[in-house]
Amino acid sequence: MIGRPSRRWWLLLGLFMAVGLGVRLWYLFAWMHPAEVQGDPLYYHDAANLFADGRGWPDPYELRLNKRYVPDAQHPPLTSALLALPSLVGLRTFLDHQVFSCLLGTLAVGIMGLTGRRVAGPATGLVAAGIAAVYPGMWINDPLLMSETSGILATSAVLWLAYRFWERRGYLDAALLGVAVAAAALARAELALLGVFLVTPLVLIARPEDAPPRIGWRRSVGTPAAATAKPRAAGGRLAGIVASWRRRLGMLVAAGAACVLAIAPWSIYNLTRFSEPEYLSSGLGTTLAVTHCETTYSGPHLGWWDFDCILAIENPPTERSERDVFYREAAFTYIDAHKGELPKVAAARAGRTWGLFRPWQQVRLDTVELRPVGVSQVGMVSLWVLMAAAVVGAVLLRRRRALLLPLLALPGVLTLASTMVYGTSRFRAVAEPAVVLLAAVAFAAIRSRFTPHGRHAGGRPPAAHVPAQAQVGQPETG
């Protein structure tokens, strides 16, 4: 168990957050202001102001261009709901929302530091916060006003709460993790897959009977449980196994119930205003329609998207849920006729997302979303360095018998979702926290080789090579 963080550690974390805010504001005012307000940023900006005014969730484009109120759920609500907070106090301009988005990105820097502490100790936490403060992949989307900012914030919280659950393994910890996954899904719908690929296996592999005894919410200090446990008869062992699985299933139910309850208000709202069922977003059909066509299955745009594809589909319905179904059926028809090409297309999509397939072309394509070429190029090279370090970090955590599942599940879910729709740099953003944390483990290990014995950043040295279930120590905060 990692000791209590020192005042110095908190001061350093605050310093890195200040640096992160400075970098984001510099990028905003040096590169992104004044901004050309269009596309998704316009949607999130207008939707936030409409929601703050109590006008519900219409299509902002229709309202702005045609003065028609058309119910819509093209994007999940978290990004605009967060941007509505400054709107409620009169900060309603696009620039106001850009600054607030930079503040949200800075908050993610702090959460990364806290998560790094839980993953591999205080030094790793500070390294993770430092990387998150300056690495372009963590801030390039903030002034753009895109859902990736809220997505990064949500997935950072998911990782922090996943490691918190692993240490404490209580019903409340499981429920909080479920709420965090719900927030991630309300930022980007595909992140609902974290419930299947992260929360479910994490809860089921947690073994409460092997954990040290507790006092309240904390683990007790002293002898590991294995050294104090009394021998059990066969019947006692069976009863223990049954009780263990009952507890695990109970925690899984708590996580699932909390996730469903957090999403329910948005889903119920959608079910009352659309003719077809929509639970998170009505945008899947549109996305599939622009990504499953001839120009995205071959040629220079292989694995990307092409808006001409959706323009070729005639007579779409006006009602948004019906339009979603209409475009989905058109896309599925094309997919069914081109099944043999899916492996090639999926590989290209994943490659584009992770900067491994036509990376410099992807940098140029990203300019359609107003990303500066120079910043994107620096971000791409930085990504390659961090991915190489992340592999080392994963090996180190494996050797220490530390928990790896959350840091692998997040990139895995993102990659799976990308292969199903299309590949682009910004899709990678919500998985950047996992890459940064794994890289931080490697960089912190390098640093430790040059640190005099007994000196550690912000607290006692972590029991890095002791399995999590055998670690004991002082109570942890943060």
pLDDT given at position 5: 79
More confident: 219 or 242: 242
Residue 116 lies inside a defined structural domain of this protein: yes
Please tell me the distance from the alpha carbon of residue 129 to that of residue 185, in angstroms, as a whole number.
24
Residue 109 lies inside a defined structural domain of this protein: yes
Beta partners for 58?
71
Residue 134 lies inside a defined structural domain of this protein: yes
Structure tokens, 452? 């005099």
Helix axes 171-187, 234-271, angle to 10 degrees: 30
Q: What is the pLDDT of residues 279-314, one digit of tens each?
A: 999 999 999 999 999 999 999 999 999 999 999 999
Instruction: Output b/e per residue, 110-126; b: 16+ Cβ within 10 A.
Output: bbbbbbbbbbbbbbbbb
pLDDT given at position 225: 44
Please tell me the distance from the alpha carbon of residue 463 to that of residue 401, in angstroms, as a whole number.
11
Residue 387 pLDDT > 50? yes
Q: How many domains does the chain have?
A: 1
pLDDT given at position 240: 77
Residue 232 lies inside a defined structural domain of this protein: no
pLDDT given at position 342: 96
Q: Taking residues 91-106, what's their average pLDDT?
A: 97
Cα-trace Rg, the chain: 23
Q: What pLDDT band is residue 213 in, cutting at 50, 70 and 90? A: very low
Structure tokens, 243? 């009780």
Domain boundaries, position 206:
7-220+240-470
pLDDT given at position 2: 60
Q: What is the pLDDT of residues 25-77, one digit of tens each?
A: 999 999 988 888 888 999 999 999 999 999 999 999 999 889 999 999 999 99
Residue 305 lies inside a defined structural domain of this protein: yes
> The pTM is what?
0.88
DSSP secondary structure, 338-385, as one string: TGGGHHHHHHHHHHHHTT-SSHHHHHHHGGGGT--HHHHHHHHHHHHH
In this structure, the chain runs to a length of 478
| Chain centre to alpha carbon of residue 123 | 23
Positive or negative, the Cα torsion across 335, 338, 339, 341?
Answer: negative
Residue 128 lies inside a defined structural domain of this protein: yes
Please tell me the distance from the alpha carbon of residue 187 to that of residue 80, in angstroms, as a whole number.
9
What element of type H or E holds 252? helix 234-271
Structure tokens, 380? 């791409």
Q: Taking residues 130-149, what's their average pLDDT?
A: 96
More confident: 119 or 370: 119
Question: Do 23 and 134 contact (CB within 8 A), yes or no?
Answer: yes
Q: What pLDDT band is residue 162 in, cutting at 50, 70 and 90? A: very high
Work out the percent of the chain whose per-residue pLDDT is above 90: 80
Residue 454 pLDDT > 70? no
Residue 133 lies inside a defined structural domain of this protein: yes
Question: Do 387 and 354 contact (CB within 8 A), yes or no?
Answer: yes
Q: Taking residues 219-226, what's their average pLDDT?
A: 40
Residue 228 lies inside a defined structural domain of this protein: no
With a CB cutoff of 8 Å and minimum separation 6, the contacts of 323 are 282, 285, 286, 316, 317
The count of other CB atoms within 10 Å of the CB of residue 196 is 12
Q: Taking residues 453-466, what's their average pLDDT?
A: 47
Q: What is the pLDDT of residues 314-366, one digit of tens each?
A: 999 999 999 999 999 999 999 999 999 999 999 999 999 999 999 999 999 99
